[in-house]
Chains A and B, each alone.
Chain A
Amino acid sequence: MDYNFHWRPVFRQLPDLFEAGLLTLEVAILSMILGIMLGLILALLRMNGPRPLRWIANFWVELARNTPALFQLFFFGFGLGAFGLHLTPYLIVLLGLSFNNAGYLAENFRGGFLAVPDTQIRAARSLGMTASQTYIRIIIPQVLRIVYHPMTNQMVWAVLMSSLGMLVGFRELSGETQFFASKTYRIFEYFAVTAVIYYVIVKIILIGSKLAARRLFKY
């Protein structure tokens, strides 16, 4: 093998890469927050919603789960662009990931809702709680515990999937890496270092999730 490794240019750009890593984390976290809220709504609509809304929710979940995530980003980028709606790369990635997260999480949430017995609803309602109090205080906390680990997986997935951002011109961690790599031709070195950064980000998420679970779920 006569390839000469040159790590110095990569290390010089490390601060930029870290900054891009934070951007990756930011867009992943925001897409998870949006994804959880939308996913909950989709799950509830699929179970109890009026018919047209239930159809829309079903369609959303089907599309999000059964088409490539990359195509979903392209829809928010080039798709909407074709209709004259030009979003910034940041928004394309945020909306694309949120759309995808919501679809996957909706399925997890639906399973979680089905796992909480109906009798919990009756017990809460018999105490005079309204339907929304019952959901917010009794049902959703139990569902969140059931879906906690699938949710952590989705968060990891969102971090890794955000790398698709480089294909719509978003300079998150992968986009930034691609930019410097093509400038310096140290392609292998840049992507190797970036892989390590991804690995560390994901590890931090997994450890954080484990610690949080210990605090959150005492029962």
Chain B
Amino acid sequence: MIEIKQLHKYFGKLHVLQGIDLNVNKGEVLSIIGSSGSGKSTLLYCINGLEPIQQGQIMVDGIPVHDAKTDINKLRQKLGMVFQQWNSFPHLTALENVALAPKIVRKMSRDEAKTIAEKQLRHVGLGDKLDVYPSALSGGQQQRLAIARALAMEPAYMLFDEATSALDPELVGEVLDTMRLLAEEGMTMICVTHEMSFARDVSDRVAYFHQGHMEEVGPPAQIFGDPQSPHTRKFLASVR
């Protein structure tokens, strides 16, 4: 379970997260929507400790992320992350991209790491691209590679930061399909997304962020069908 309590985050003087309270349960899919600059991506970076926080607390399975005593590298193994820019490692083949972290972080043997990498690449539909370098893959394939790479750490949670925003429109579908597949398999997911249909159809809850506040959170039927906040209504009207 991920517990966020009274989280405040500043970039210099800019108050990007202004007291966020949010819990994400095991097996849940939470979509976070909102306009750019509302703090939703920053929240993901805070959850896996890539960004420091100034106030409040984030706990992952009872472990405080920003506590100096926490072994953050160990905790990050629970938190797979997929970025807007897919960030495949260009000097490694698809297989090596996925096998590297299991080998050097989870200390698996070369064979074990290779086996799990192959399994995850097949899982995302890249079973025929094992020895290909990222430069020969499309954006959608590279994003699926990034998903396989995160999954190979066998995380308990997956964080998606606008995983489809940088893709050509015709490549968005294959990545969303992969995310849907994970949701069906019961993965706990937090997805910052601009794909309203994904948020509506796949998630258990949807949160709307506005200028550093979480305006409202609830089941998709409620957020999309009967939004309570005028900000949410205005936002949804603009993306429809």
- By a beta-carbon cutoff of 8 Å, the part of chain A in contact with chain B is 117, 119-120, 122-130, 133, 137-138, 141-142, 145, 217-219
Contacts and interface: CB of A to CB of B under 8 A. Distances in A.
A128 B50 contact: no
Given A126-B81, A133-B104, 18 more contacts: A119-B83, A119-B87, A120-B89, A122-B83, A123-B81, A123-B83, A125-B50, A126-B80, A126-B150, A127-B76, A128-B76, A128-B77, A128-B105, A128-B153, A129-B105, A133-B105, A137-B104, A217-B91
Enumerate the 5 nearest inter-chain pairs by beta-carbon distance, A residue then B residue, closest first.
A123-B87, A127-B101, A219-B133, A126-B81, A128-B76
Q: Which of A122, A128, A130 has the most CB of B within 10 A?
A: A128
9 contacts: A117-B87, A123-B89, A125-B76, A126-B79, A129-B73, A129-B104, A138-B89, A219-B90, A219-B91
B104 A126 contact: no
A219 B81 contact: no
Given A122-B83, A126-B76, A128-B74, A141 B91 contact: yes
B58 interface: no
The secondary structure that dominates the A interface is helix
Contacts of B135: 219
B220 to A, nearest CB: 27
Interface in B38-65: 48, 50
B178 interface: no
Interface string B77-109: 101110101010111000000001100111000
A127 B150 contact: yes
Contacts of B149: 127
B189 interface: no
B78 to A, nearest CB: 9
Given A119-B85, A127-B101, A138-B89, A219 B134 contact: yes
